[in-house]
Structure 1
Amino acid sequence: MIKTLLISLSVGAAAGLLGALCGIGGGIVMVPAFTQLLGLEHKQAVATSLAIIIITALVATTNNSRAGLVDWRIVLCAAVGAAAASWFGSDLMQSLQSSTLTRIFGITLLVFGAKMLIKP
């Protein structure tokens, strides 16, 4: 139990730092860590990561907004599309096998990672 708490705290700290610095953390840090280090299934790791992201996003957004870095017009427009797509995406996630989700996740990371390395 203590080991799980320490791993969770460490993963959360890494995800929070990378999330605030680069806009990443949930999928790239927490999902792999939760599956590999805590033995969660991919679906449970995704759902747990999304719940944590709510808190980290609120904290980082508050700080970034105070610095004038948030374009609230874009937030409002993009949030509508993101909310609708996430409702359907969470239904789809629940219907797929964890192994399929892991493959989709890995391919997505490879494609976007390669694009970022080639054209930063």
Structure 2
Amino acid sequence: MWDAPTLLIMFVLGLFASTFGAIVGLGGGVIIVPALLLLGSSMLGMDIDTTLAVGVSLGALVFTSFTSTLTFVREGKADLRSALFFSLSSGPFSLVGASLTSLFDPDAFRKAFGYFMLFMVVLLLFRNRIKPYQGQWRYVRTYTDAAGMQQEYGYNALPALLIGGAVGLIAGLLGIGGGVLLIPAMMLLFRFPPHIASATSMAVIFVSALFGSGMHLARGEWDWMLVLALAPGALIGGWLGARISRRIGSVLLIRIMCGALLLFALRMIIT
């Protein structure tokens, strides 16, 4: 099974999924999970069910989010203080999601979440026409871009913890990282600049993936060879995606995010 062509395919899969995931802050699980389900019997000669695909995807996301977060931190893009706050709930709830993967009706959940993501795409596309939140944030952050323009964003404790919990639940349940919900929430509710949102999302994904993959490992929904075969590409892809992201303007980054979310939503609804 583990001949040179198979290892090369797994490396390319990890590299492509992680590079794309790090660019937009989604993690890459949206590519890894369906790829494993499709390639399992034909390429790897093994039956990969949903729980195993989710566990392996989260394992690969640990490597992706680790290298991308390190790169974003060095570039001053990742807001680690905010990421830690979201992670207070995302980490524990990823354990809950991981424990429910085998019990939940995956088809019904995927379709419902797909329609929800279509709604998120519409909100992102028309975000400039939506009246921004006018209240006072408990935690206020500032970011100065390359042109010297200062942007203010922030969040309140309860909404941030609720969103973090939802992100962790989705990450552990579906193995996709949770950025599909976290990024729109950060941009629409808390006015995070696009680059800060995608970079901070990867830091939150690291915690969620670490907790979620640990639960899947404990439940036996895991395959070390699959994780290790994806890991080299995931490590390189996380770093490469973060490097590419800094060369993309905010408008283009949002368009790429919307395109990725749209494809993800359609795949969730159709499959």
Under a length normalisation based on structure 2, what TM-score does the superposition of the two structures give?
0.42
Identity of aligned residues (%): 35
Deviates more, 1:26-35 or 1:16-25: 16-25
Q: Which amino acid aligns with 2:250?
A: S
Match of 2:264 among 102, 106, 112: 112
8 Å Cα contact 2:183-2:198 kept in structure 1: yes
| Displacement of 1:7 | 2.1
Question: Does residue 1:31 correspond to 2:150, yes or no?
Answer: no
| Pairing of 1:25-64 with structure 2 (within 5 A) | 25-64=177-216
| Displacement of 1:95 | 1.5
The superposition leaves residues 73-110 of structure 1 with CA deviations (integer Å, 9 ceiling, x where unpaired) of: 11111111011112111011111112211111111121
| Displacement of 1:117 | 2.2
Match of 2:243 among 91, 100, 116: 91
Which consecutive unaligned segments of at least 5 residues does structure 2 have?
1-137, 140-154
* SS of residue paired to 1:24: coil
Q: Following the alignment from structure 2 to structure 1, what is the Cα–Cα distance between the partners of residues 176 and 237? A: 19
Which residue does 1:10 correspond to in 2?
Answer: 162
RMSD of aligned alpha carbons: 1.5
Question: Does residue 1:22 correspond to 2:188, yes or no?
Answer: no
8 Å Cα contact 1:7-1:37 kept in structure 2: no
Match of 1:82 among 223, 234, 248: 234
**Between Structure 1 and Structure 2, which shows a larger proportion of strand residues?**
2
Higher relative contact order (CA 8 A, sep 6+): 2
Aligned length: 119
Q: Which amino acid aligns with 2:198?
A: V
Q: Which amino acid aligns with 2:228?
A: L
